[in-house]
Amino acid sequence: MTRSARLVVGGALVAAALAVVLPTWLGGGPEPVPGTAKPEYAFLRVDRDTGRPVGWDRCRPIHLVVNIAGAPPQWDDLLRQATAAVREASGLKFVIDGLTDDRDFLARSRDVGGPVLVGWAPASELPQVAEDAGGFGRPVEREVGGVPRYVGGTVVLNGDLSSRWAGQSQPDPIEIAQLMHVLGHLVGLDDVSSDDELMSGSGLHQLLYGPGDLAGLRRLGQLPCAGDD
């Protein structure tokens, strides 16, 4: 596989290129040689006092509310499949509380915590959605018992891409991977340079979490519960 043939979503998406490139990329090209790539992961923040990554309280589910304006029709399955992948890798549980009209995705009031707001926005509304692999995820941090933890946040997917999935009854693997990347940020992973990881910062090169992604998610799911620090 040449670098130019890689699937890159983010920035200016060339929609036609996705349809052409992905089948080639999945089926063709030389097999990767096992053991040549080092698993790579990074955390958004590491607590200097404990040396541990900042993450969520693994003993409580992460609550989500969803604004479905501009969402693809299979948003429910999409959200369930992507959160299931995070849960499988980390043990972190998600609960979808319901729907909301709130789309003030950058609201300061969200800094106090509460359910994570999930939504879809075009780049014309929220330019940040075009900067990463199909959206952005941003946790809100607060000190709980003297330890920094994530207590809320925002997940926004690029609404300009939603029309691509409009005719499909099931979420597309690319769409699921985009949300898995963004949820990776929500739970504490940062972008990495390796294109073997779903958390690659240069766009979407994988459809599933890579070895580094899985190792990072595992660590984020093994942090002490609040009160047990």
**112 CB-contact burial (10 Å; exposed 0-12 / middle 13-18 / buried 19+):** exposed
Q: Least distance (Å) from Zn ion to the CB of residue 143?
A: 25
Which residue, 40 or 132, has its beta carbon nearer to Zn ion? Answer: 132
Kindly determine how many residues on this chain lie close enough to bind Zn ion according to the rule CB under 5 A: 2
Q: Which residues of the chain form beta strands (DSSP E)?
A: 62-67, 94-99, 116-121, 135-144, 147-158
Q: Least distance (Å) from Zn ion to the CB of residue 132?
A: 4
Beta bridge partners, 56, equal: 150
Which residue, 132 or 172, has its beta carbon nearer to Zn ion? Answer: 132
In this structure, what DSSP letter does residue 164 have?
G
Residues of span 42-61 touching Zn ion by CB under 5 A: none
Alpha-carbon distance of 85 to 175, in angstroms, equals 13
Which residue, 58 or 205, has its beta carbon nearer to Zn ion? Answer: 205
Q: Least distance (Å) from Zn ion to the CB of residue 189?
A: 8
Q: Least distance (Å) from Zn ion to the CB of residue 22?
A: 19
Q: Which residue stretch of 58-66, 98-106, 132-140, 158-166 sits at the interface with Zn ion (rule: CB under 5 A)?
A: 132-140
CB burial string 165-199: b at 16+ within 10 A, e below: beeeeebbebbbbbbbbbbbbbbbbebbebbbbbb
HSE at residue 89, side-chain half, CA atoms within 13 A, is: 25
Q: Which of 77, 125, 191, 229 binds Zn ion (CB under 5 A)?
A: 191
Alpha-carbon distance of 134 to 82, in angstroms, equals 14
Which residue, 191 or 229, has its beta carbon nearer to Zn ion? Answer: 191
Which residue, 12 or 16, has its beta carbon nearer to Zn ion? Answer: 12
Q: Which of 132, 160, 175, 196 binds Zn ion (CB under 5 A)?
A: 132
Which residue, 81 or 128, has its beta carbon nearer to Zn ion? Answer: 128
Backbone φ and ψ of 95, nearest 5°? -130, 125
Alpha-carbon distance of 138 to 145, in angstroms, equals 22
Any contact of residue 102 with Zn ion (CB under 5 A)? no
Nearest residue to the partner Zn ion, using Cβ: 132
Contacts with Zn ion by CB under 5 A lie at 132, 191
